[in-house]
Structure 1
């Protein structure tokens, strides 16, 4: 059972209605997760590890569906298996992003676009 579906055109309105939260299937429960608490998402096939501040949740959803639900202004897919929340980036190296002492790979194709999304001085 998926509470929020990508094809629902009012998903952004619903996220705003619930004060920046989404509801996801976590085990046998439907859990409310604040978007601001999400640091990154790591994909494992049809399961995602949603890493939040202080804990993680394993969610049965595809990366494509989750990417369609999360606001693109706040989240970016840096690698085929990773979505990150842009304001959680601490460092960017030639091949990784660091978020809370976790190194997340950046694909070569996505690095330039990522750099264009963040405020940085050349």
Structure 2
């Protein structure tokens, strides 16, 4: 497998993409996290809470840099503070999306684009 080169800003944040996972600088160690295990990401300024199926990780990185590392076909930014994995959506309303048992707000500007990204039977 080949390590993909990324932008300098992202390298400075100690994140690299490797196959179907990313390496995150969590506390005093670098942990490999499967992209498929990520349910959503919540931003707290320059820190992100990466919520996986079994646990969460707090990482020091900006949302902007993290978005650059994740495949846009799998992840979508539904709100300024939230990024979700599209295949983890359980349901949605006009104001929020359910990912597992968590209610995540959808900004008005992003709702129509989100609807175009999911397979909707009318």
> What band does the TM-score fall into relative to the shorter chain?
0.7 to 0.9
Q: Structure 1's 84 and 42: CA in aligned 2 closer, same or farther, altered over 3 A?
A: same
Q: Please report how far the alpha carbon of residue 28 of structure 1 lies from its aligned counterpart in structure 2 after TM superposition.
A: 1.0
Segments of structure 1 that go 5 or more residues without pairing to the other structure are: 9-13
8 Å contact kept, 1:24–1:31: yes
Q: Please report how far the alpha carbon of residue 19 of structure 1 lies from its aligned counterpart in structure 2 after TM superposition.
A: 3.4
Segments of structure 2 that go 5 or more residues without pairing to the other structure are: 9-15
Q: Match for residue 82 of structure 1?
A: 82
Segments ≥4 residues shifted beyond 3 Å: none
* C-alpha RMSD over aligned residues: 1.9
Q: Structure 1's 24 and 121: CA in aligned 2 closer, same or farther, altered over 3 A?
A: same
Q: Structure 1's 55 and 5: CA in aligned 2 closer, same or farther, altered over 3 A?
A: farther
Separation in structure 1 between the aligned mates of residue 102 and residue 6 of structure 2, nearest angstrom: 29
8 Å contact kept, 1:5–1:65: no
Q: Match for residue 111 of structure 2?
A: 111
Q: Match for residue 94 of structure 1?
A: 94
8 Å contact kept, 1:37–1:53: yes
Q: Please report how far the alpha carbon of residue 109 of structure 1 lies from its aligned counterpart in structure 2 after TM superposition.
A: 0.0
